[in-house]
Amino acid sequence: MPAPGTGTAAHWILPIAVLFIRPFGLIVQVVRGAMITALSSAYVKTARAKGVKSRNIIFVHALRNAMLPVITVIGDQAAALLNGAVVIETIFGFPGVGKLMIDSILQRDFNVVLAAIMVTAIAIFLMNLLIDMA
């Protein structure tokens, strides 16, 4: 088996699939629910009555207004992906902050553990800040 940094693209497919399947399903459900709500609103009915094409109604009117809950869920899931990456890095043996944290815990190097937790917390904080600004 090649080293984690030198593998082919197929070497990364399983970890990425494991990490993204659950959040993808949740995001799809939220997009569906938000689009159902947006497509039943008054402004979409008005646009249909005016004769606007269905494609424009979906992408311009409904999807734009349905993005607020979707962006919020994507931000929450992105934080969960950072936490899930710890497990994925450990299971698949990839180098990263998660594997560093696990190795440091096993070696009882608590300064490294605290630093890794701080880096992860700052990344999650900045991600939430960007999501709120969007």
pLDDT in tens, 69-116: 898 898 888 888 887 888 888 888 888 888 888 888 899 998 999 998
The verdict on residue 2 lying in a domain is no
Parent domain of 27? 20-133
> What's the predicted TM-score (pTM) here?
0.71
Cβ-count burial of 28 within 10 angstroms (0-12 exposed, 13-18 middle, 19+ buried)?
exposed
- Residues 37/66, Cβ–Cβ less than 8 Å: yes
- How much of the chain, in percent, has pLDDT values that exceed 70? 93
Judged against a pLDDT cut of 80, whether residue 2 lies above it is answered with no
Domain count, the chain: 1
* Residue 14 located in a structural domain: no
Q: Where are the alpha helices (DSSP H) in 4-95?
A: 10-39, 42-50, 54-56, 63-92
In a domain, 34, yes or no: yes
Residue 7 belongs to a domain: no
> Is position 84 within any domain?
yes
Say how far apart CA 104 and CA 85 lie, in whole Å.
Answer: 16
Secondary structure class of 53 (helix, strand, coil): coil
Q: Tokens for 7, please give them.
A: 């593998």
How far lies 1's CA from each of 6, 11, 96, 100, in Å?
10, 9, 18, 21
